[in-house]
């Protein structure tokens, strides 16, 4: 349900309420999700799968009778809404993305594959940037003793 909330609030108007909700995400919810991921990595993975366990099928497209293709598109969009908040780590990504790619390969008719092209391209671009940034930070931390004002 929390993932659905991120997805729903991503499209809020940029007014006072929307601004307040956006402040809540990094201050509280993102920290909580990262803690959940550290403590129960397996649960995070299960909730982010294309066909999650029963307890994770709450809200949004799970409450509607819709096609598998719609479920897959909505699920990918939900994940896309989590990425800017650094909720999806590289190890987490590596656990669930193969399942998504397999589901798209086996359950989406060829005639509808083009609907996924843009989202998948965006994912690839985003995680390439994240991976490059992490490698740069790691390189700098080994090369220098002071990074970001902290002794490393």
| Mean pLDDT to the nearest integer, 94-120 | 89
State which of 3-12, 13-22, 118-127 shows the largest mean pLDDT. 118-127
pLDDT of residue 4: 62
CB contact at 8 A, 67 and 74: no
Q: Which residues contact 90 (CB under 8 A, 6 or more apart)?
A: 127, 130, 131, 134
Average pLDDT, the chain: 74
Give the integer Cα–Cα distance in Å for 31 and 22: 14
Predicted confidence (pLDDT) at residue 129 exceeds the cutoff of 60: yes
Predicted confidence (pLDDT) at residue 106 exceeds the cutoff of 90: yes
pLDDT of residue 141: 37
**Residue 99 or residue 12, greater confidence:** 99
Quote the pTM value: 0.68
Summarised one tens digit per residue, pLDDT across range 22-63 is: 777 777 677 878 888 899 999 889 988 998 888 877 766 666
CB contact at 8 A, 4 and 56: no
pLDDT of residue 102: 92
**Which percentage of the chain shows pLDDT scores above 70?**
65
Residue 112: which pLDDT band, with cuts at 50, 70 and 90?
Answer: very high
**Which percentage of the chain shows pLDDT scores above 90?**
12
pLDDT of residue 58: 72
């Amino acid at each position: 349900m929390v993932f659905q909330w991120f997805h729903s609030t991503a499209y809020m108007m940029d007014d006072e309420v929307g601004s307040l909700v956006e402040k809540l995400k990094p201050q509280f919810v993102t920290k909580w999700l990262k803690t959940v991921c550290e403590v129960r990595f397996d649960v995070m993975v299960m909730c982010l799968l294309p066909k999650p366990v029963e307890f994770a099928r709450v809200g949004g497209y799970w409450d509607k009778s819709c096609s598998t293709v719609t479920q897959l598109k909505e699920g990918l969009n939900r994940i896309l809404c989590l990425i800017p908040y650094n909720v999806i780590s590289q190890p987490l990504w590596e656990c669930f993305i193969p399942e998504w790619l397999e589901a798209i390969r086996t359950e989406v008719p060829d005639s509808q594959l083009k609907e996924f092209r843009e989202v998948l391209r965006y994912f690839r671009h985003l995680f390439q940037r994240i991976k490059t940034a992490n490698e740069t930070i790691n390189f700098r931390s080994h090369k220098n003793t002071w990074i970001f004002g902290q002794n490393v």
